[in-house]
Every structure is written in C-alpha cells, then in structure tokens.
C-alpha cells in the first residue's frame, strides 16, 4: 500500500474504487461514441474522393480520412481496454456486488465516524463523585 493511502480512511478508498468503476463506464461510453462518429464519416470521405477531380484535393481528403481512422483506433483501443470492467458493471448478476460494496462503504464510514467522535460515558451505577464508598 502506498504511504499516502495509509493516512486515508478505508471508506474513502472504497468510495474511490466505486468512483473509478463509474468513471471507467463513462469513459468507455464516450470512447465508443467517438468510434461510432468516426465510422459514420467513412461514407462522407468515400463520396468526397469519388467526386473529387483534383489530385491535391484527393490528397487532402485522404489525409483527413487517415486522421479520422487514427482517432477512431485510439478511441476503440480505449473502449476495448475498459470493456471487461463495463461488462462486469452491466451484468445484472453483479448488481448485488456493487450494492454490497456501496453498503460496505456506508457502514465503514459510520464506524469511522463513531471511532473518531468525542465519546463520553455516563455512569449507570457508580456515583459521579468517585468510587462507590458505601460501607453498608
């Protein structure tokens, strides 16, 4: 465990893990949206090339197409990198795991708050003045 993590509350680490899972899901969805957008551009580039008569213009369009494909590949790789985590999150059989981790984070925070609070004990039998001195 890293030194900076040792000073953090366990509930913070658990919540960071949950936040990471949801961040991954969001990133994967964003990356896939880019893939779909770049895929849709293919037909536009093909038609531009088909109707272009100038060699320089064809070269410019081909360069744009190349950049589009590079952008698509980077987004697809990012999506693929996060795919297993997203499959786990999207599987209905695993919802209980996420819910159990959320409950664990809440229960853990409750215990941490209790341990770090200013606790005070109220005597139930002994008198406030000190030890019981009744000699009967």
**pLDDT, tens digit, for every residue of 30-81?**
999 999 999 999 999 999 999 999 999 999 999 999 999 999 999 999 999 9
The residue with tokens 């913070």 is: 12
pLDDT tens digits for range 4-39: 667 899 999 999 999 999 999 999 999 999 999 999
pTM > 0.85: no
Whole-number pLDDT of residue 123: 85
The residue with tokens 């320089």 is: 56
Is a pLDDT exceeding 80 seen at residue 130?
A: no
Q: Domain boundaries in the chain? A: 8-116
Q: Which two tokens stand for residue 44?
A: 């536009």
Is the Cβ–Cβ distance between 62 and 49 less than 8 Å?
yes
* Gap between the Cα atoms of 108 and 8, Å rounded: 13
* Gap between the Cα atoms of 129 and 122, Å rounded: 12
**Rounded to the nearest 5°, which phi and psi values hold at 117?**
-80, 165
């Amino acid at each position: 465990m890293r030194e900076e993590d040792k000073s953090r509350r366990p509930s913070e680490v658990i919540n960071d893990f949950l936040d990471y899972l949801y961040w991954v899901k969001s990133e994967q969805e964003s990356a896939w949206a880019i893939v779909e957008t770049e895929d849709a551009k293919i037909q536009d580039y093909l038609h531009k090339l088909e109707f272009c008569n100038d060699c320089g213009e064809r070269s410019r369009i081909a360069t744009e197409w190349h950049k589009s494909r590079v952008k698509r590949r980077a987004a697809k790789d990012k999506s693929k990198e996060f795919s297993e985590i997203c499959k786990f999150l999207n599987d209905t059989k695993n919802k209980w795991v996420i819910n159990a981790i959320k409950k664990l984070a809440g229960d853990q925070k409750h215990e941490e708050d209790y341990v770090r609070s200013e606790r005070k004990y109220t005597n139930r039998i002994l008198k406030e003045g000190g030890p019981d001195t009744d000699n009967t």
